[in-house]
Amino acid sequence: MSRQDKILTDRKIFHAIGYICMAAAVVLAVQFARGNLAWSDMAQGMLPIVLQELAAVCWGEYTATRPDTDAWIGRTLKTVLVASVPSLIWAFFWFTR
């Protein structure tokens, strides 16, 4: 396997992990909001945020390793910031209630 093939394979893995983490965060947030899982308030607030931020980091890595690397810093920062918005919304609604 060439280096380029390995990079493309790693990119696909980061992309998939990002979607899995975001889906898990959404499922947990819905279950916590409904009251179906009885965990501590701190765990209920922080677990979706951690999963969403992990997804943001994975998508940032996916974006940063694009084969055409012009302006990768700005593109990566935009990706991470946009992917972090759901965690900010969850934190606002969960911790201000």
How many domains, the chain? 1
Question: Taking a C-beta distance cutoff of 8 angstroms, is the pair 37, 87 a contact?
Answer: no
CA distances to 35, 53, 96 from 44, rounded to whole Å, are: 10, 15, 13
Residues present in the chain in total: 97
For residue 16, give its domain range. Answer: 3-95
Q: Token digits for 35?
A: 């009251």
Which of 1-10, 12-21, 28-37, 82-91 has the least mean pLDDT? Answer: 1-10
Across the chain, mean pLDDT equals: 82
Give 40-67 pLDDT, tens digit per residue: 878 888 888 899 888 888 888 888 777 7
Positive or negative torsion for Cα 68, 74, 80, 81: negative
Instruction: State how far the Cα of 15 lies from the Cα of 37, in Å rounded to an integer.
Output: 28
pLDDT band at residue 20 under the 50/70/90 scheme: very high
* Predicted TM-score of the model (pTM): 0.77
